[in-house]
Structures are given as structure tokens and as C-alpha cells.
Amino acid sequence: MGRQWLKWLWLAALILIPVVLLWLPADFFDKGEPLCPSKRFFNVECLGCGMTRAVMHLLHLDFEMALYYNPGSFLVAPVLGVIWIRWFVQAIRTVRR
């Protein structure tokens, strides 16, 4: 019973994170300096550059901007969705025990 609150906290986080990301505007992550080390130190974009911005635009169904920021997001976003669903189902099963 001691760690039961951690299981509930994990389930709450799994529910709240997508809600918050959908509540935020699509261009929320578009501003500011890039955090990617290859972009920052060498001024070279890697395959992941723009992925956060692209996935955020995909969540808001802004396909044109998602394609602009990173075309790979059309592959990464569904994979992230499947991972999230697996974690969610596992969290519900864990809390029920």
C-alpha cells in the first residue's frame, strides 16, 4: 500500500500530459533557442531537430507546419501514441491490483 500513491501519480501524469499539450497553443515550442547540441555547438541539424515542434503541431492537426519542422514526425508521433497507450493500459492494470 505504501507505493500505491506512486501508481496513482503515474496514471494522473499519463492523463494530464496529453491534456496539457492539447491545451497549449500549437506554436508554444516554436520560440526560443534550440536545445539540440549538434545545432547549438556545430550549427548542424540532426534527424531529431524540430521533432518537438513538429509533434506539437501534429497534435493540433497542423500538418503543414509539422512537415516543415520535421517530416519524420509523421513516423515518430504514431509510435509515441502506441507507447503512451501501452503505458496507460499498464498503469490502469497496476492501479486496479
C-alpha cell at 8: 496513482
CA 74 – CA 55 distance, rounded (Å): 8
- Residue 57 structural domain: 4-96
Q: How many structural domains are present in the chain?
A: 1
- Band of the pLDDT at 94, cuts 50, 70, 90? very high
- 92-97 average pLDDT score: 90
pLDDT tens per residue across span 31-88: 888 888 888 889 888 999 999 999 999 999 999 999 999 999 999 999 999 999 999 9
In contact, 70 and 53? CB cutoff 8 Å: yes
Query: What is the model's pTM?
Result: 0.85
- Name residue, grid cell 502506441: 82
Half-sphere exposure of 90 (CA within 13 A, CB side): 8
